Amino acid sequence: MSSVRVLAGTRKGAFILTSDAKRERWDVSGPHFAGWEMYHLKGSPVDTNRLYASQSSGWFGQLIQRSDDGGKTWEPVDNKFAYEGVPGTHQWYDGTQHPWEFKRVWQLEPSLTDPDVVYAGVEDAALFRSSDGGQSWQELPGLRSAKGHLWAPGAGGMCLHTIVQDPSNPNRIFIAISAAGAFRTDDAGQTWRPVNAGLKSPYELPDPTAEVGHCVHNIAMHPSRPGVLFMQKHWDVMRSDDAGDSWYEVSGNLPTDFGFPIAVHAHEPNTIYVVPIKSDSEHFPPDGKLRVYRSRTGGNEWEALTKGLPQSNCYVNVLRSALAVDSLDSCGIYFGTTGGQVYGSADSGDSWAPIVRDLPAVLSVEVQTLQ
C-alpha cells in the first residue's frame, strides 16, 4: 500500500505529515527541532528512510541533521561549511566588494542515485557536496568562479536556493542563486557557466539582459524531459527547451507573474504550477484570493485552481521551496504558507484541503511517495 510523507520546514521547527494514498486523513508529528529555523528537509529518492534537514538559528548557527528511519530519530552530522581557498569577494549593496561569509544552508538535495551523496546550497552563495552522508562537506568552488565577483545579495540574502539534477546525465546539475541567476555544470560540478540568456530584468538591473544578476526564484524540471526547464523569476515565468541555453517567457494570462515556487506535475511533463503573488513589495496573493495556477500547455495558458483555498482576506505568501508534488497515480500537490497552513490536493490541484492550519511560517515543503 502506498503512502506519502510530507516534510514541512518552518520558522520554529519541522513537521512530518503522513497519510495513506487516499490523502484524506493525516498524522502530524512535530515539532522536531522545536524553536529552530528549518529551511529545508528532503529525503533520498533511493532510500526513503534517509532524510537530511537544515537546522539553523540566529543564536547557534547552522546544523545538519540526518535521519535513517524516516524522521523518527535524528543525528547531527557535520556542520562545517568552509569555502575552498581564499573565499574572495562579491558585490555588496553599496557597490564595494564584500568577502564571502557563510550564513546558512537553504537547500539540501540528495543525489538521485546514492543516499550518501547530498548537495547543500548555502548563503553566501556556494554549493557544497558530501559523499559520506553529511559527515563532511566539500565546496565545489568552480561555481563561484562563474563571475562570482559580480553576484550581489537580494533582499533575502545571497542564497543558493535551488539545485536540480539531470536524471539522464549525472554530470549535469542546474542551480539558482538570488540575485545572481541560473548556472549549469556539465562536468559534475567542476566548472559552471551562467545560463541566463533570454531573462530580462529591467527593474532590477541596469543592463536588463546581463549575463548574471537576475533574481531567479525557483527552477523545476520533469525527470522524463530534462532539457526542458521552468523558472519562476522575481517577475516573469520562463521556460527553456535547451537546458537553460535560452529562455522565453510563458507568463501568458497569469494575473501577476511575480511569485516564488514553480513545480511540474509528476506524470504530465507539460503541466506546471505557480502561485502568483501580487508584487515584489506586496508579498501576498492578488485580491486576497489564494490561487494556484496550472498550465497544461507548458506555460502561457493558465487556469486558476481555487476549490478549497481561501478566496477572500488571504494575505499569506508561499515561499520558493514550499511547493511539491507526490508521484502517486493521481498526482498530489502540496504547498505551505507563511501563515502556517499546509494545503494538499490529491487530484492534481482540482481541489484542495488544509492538512494543518496553524504551524509557524512554512519555509519549505517536500513530499516522499512511499511504497
Q: Which residues bind another protein (CB under 8 A)?
A: 35-36, 57-63, 76, 79-80, 82
Minimum distance, C-beta of residue 59 to another protein, in the bound complex (Å): 4
- The residue (of 39 and 174) whose beta carbon lies closer to another protein is 39
Between CA 122 and CA 88 the distance in angstroms is 16
The percent helix, strand, coil of the chain (3-state, each to 5) is: 5, 40, 55
Task: For the CB of residue 58, give the shortest distance to another protein in the complex, in Å.
Answer: 6
Is residue 297 within 8 A of residue 270, CB to CB? The reply is: yes
Q: CB nearer to another protein: give 58 or 206.
A: 58
Nearest distance from residue 105's CB to another protein, in Å? 12
| Whole-number Å distance between alpha carbons of 76 and 306 | 40
Burial label for 332, CB within 10 Å (0-12, 13-18, 19+), is: buried
CB of 34 to another protein, least distance (A): 8
Give the nearest distance from C-beta 80 to another protein in angstroms: 5
What the block records as the C-alpha cell of 245 is: 541555453
Q: Give the whole-angstrom CA distance, residue 348 versus residue 254.
A: 19
CB crowding 6-31: b at 16 or more within 10 Å, else e: bbbbbbbbbbbbbbebebeebeeebb
CB 315 to another protein: min, Å: 22
How is residue 216 written as a grid cell?
A: 531567479
Q: Which residues, in sequence order, are bridge partners of residue 66? A: 52, 75
Pick 44 or 56: Cβ nearer another protein = 56
Q: Which is nearer to another protein, 138 or 253 (CB)?
A: 138
Task: Note whether 65 and 76 are within 8 A (CB).
Answer: yes
Nearer to another protein, 15 or 74 (CB): 74
Please, which residue, 13 or 189, has the CB nearer to another protein? 13
**Closest approach of Cβ 76 to another protein, in Å?**
4
3-class secondary structure, 218: strand
Total Cβ atoms within 10 A of residue 190: 12
> For residue 157, what is the DSSP state?
B
Are 161 and 153 in contact by the 8 Å Cβ rule? The answer is no
Sign of torsion over alpha carbons 169, 319, 267, 366: positive
CB-nearer residue toward another protein: 31 or 213: 31
Comparing CB distances to another protein, the nearer of 105 and 356 is 105
The least distance separating another protein from the CB of residue 156, rounded to whole angstroms, comes to: 20
